[in-house]
Amino acid sequence: MDLGILAWGDTGWGDELARGVLTTVAIASAAYLVGAALGTLLAAMKLSGTPAMNVPAAVYTTTMRGIPEMLVIYLVFFGGGALSSWIASSVLGIHDRVDLPSFAVGVVCIALSVAAYACEVIRGAVLAVPGGQIEAAEAVGMTRSQRNRLVVAPQAFRMALPGMTNVWQFALKDTALVSIIGVTEVMRTASIGSDATKQPFTFYFAALVIFIVIAYLSQRLFVRLQASADRGVRWGS
């Protein structure tokens, strides 16, 4: 194992891998934030109690959690690309092939599945807010939105955090899948490097270390967030 090929600059792959890390973290973070927002919306729909809202939300989450992530990526990237080309040629009269931007597609696809998982986590957390505390909010005359903002949301946030930490780990791992549509994140960089140098072990081991480090650092961030959300609420915090 020659670690020299992982050096920074023209001679090594260190800078390429670092760029891969940035791409991986950027995709995962963007997908996570978009997905969490979408998941909150879906959870609100599911909790609304009106069939027109919760049926579509339930269909969405069940579908998204039931199909492979890879299928979503192929469908959006290749299917979406073909559809766009067809629309371009038949509606707009442009006969060039339309390629969707792979980074954006990657973010969207991972966000779509993050949303489905986040929805369940958030919904569970909202339902776990004690009913008595909600009644206490009503009893002081809070409006529905005040009650949600001041009483439900902060507590649901705290209770959703462990589950949302898991969702983050999924999002992070799922970024490897978008290498198939040509996004040069960590996985694809490692693969290119391995092909070019014929040193697969070095590159995939480096990728492994990179994922562990990202996972470890982000885990620490979530632990901190949890500790601050738990402040005073749980014993020993």
Partner 1 sequence: MQALVATDIRKAFGSLEVLRGVSLRANKGDVIAIIGGSGSGKSTFLRCLNLLEVPDAGSLWLNGITLDFNRSGPAGGTTPKAKAELRRRLGMVFQSFNLWTHMSALDNIIAGPIHVLGQDRKEARAIGLDLLDRVGLADKADAFPAQLSGGQQQRVAIARALAMRPEALLFDEPTSALDPELVGEVLKVIQGLAAEGRTMILVTHEMAFARDVATHVMFFHDGRVEEEGRPDLIFSNPGSERCRSFLKKFL
By CB under 8 A, name the binding residues for partner 1: 130, 132-133, 135-143, 146, 150-151, 154-155, 158, 231-235
Shortest separation between residue 106's beta carbon and partner 1, angstroms: 36
What is the amino acid identity at position 125?
Answer: A
Sequence-distant (6+) residues with CB within 8 A of 99 are: 81
Shortest separation between residue 142's beta carbon and partner 1, angstroms: 6
Instruction: Report the residue number, 91 or 139, with the smaller CB distance to partner 1.
Output: 139
How many Å is the Cα radius of gyration of the chain? 22
How far lies 180's CA from each of 53, 74, 185, 192, in Å? 35, 9, 10, 12
Instruction: Report the residue number, 104 or 136, with the smaller CB distance to partner 1.
Output: 136
Q: How many angstroms from the chain centroid is the CA of residue 224?
A: 20
Q: How many residues does the chain have?
A: 237
Shortest separation between residue 234's beta carbon and partner 1, angstroms: 7
- C-alpha to C-alpha distance for 182 and 72, rounded to whole angstroms: 15
Shortest separation between residue 50's beta carbon and partner 1, angstroms: 15
Contact 153, 136 (CB under 8 A): no
Instruction: Report the residue number, 97 or 231, with the smaller CB distance to partner 1.
Output: 231
Instruction: Report the residue number, 224 or 234, with the smaller CB distance to partner 1.
Output: 234
- C-alpha to C-alpha distance for 233 and 155, rounded to whole angstroms: 10
Shortest separation between residue 143's beta carbon and partner 1, angstroms: 7
Shortest separation between residue 158's beta carbon and partner 1, angstroms: 7
Sign of CA dihedral 145, 146, 147, 151: positive
Instruction: Report the residue number, 38 or 152, with the smaller CB distance to partner 1.
Output: 152
Instruction: Report the residue number, 201 or 235, with the smaller CB distance to partner 1.
Output: 235
- Measure CA of the first residue to CA of the last residue in the chain; give whole Å: 46
Residue 46's H or E segment, with its range, is: helix 14-47
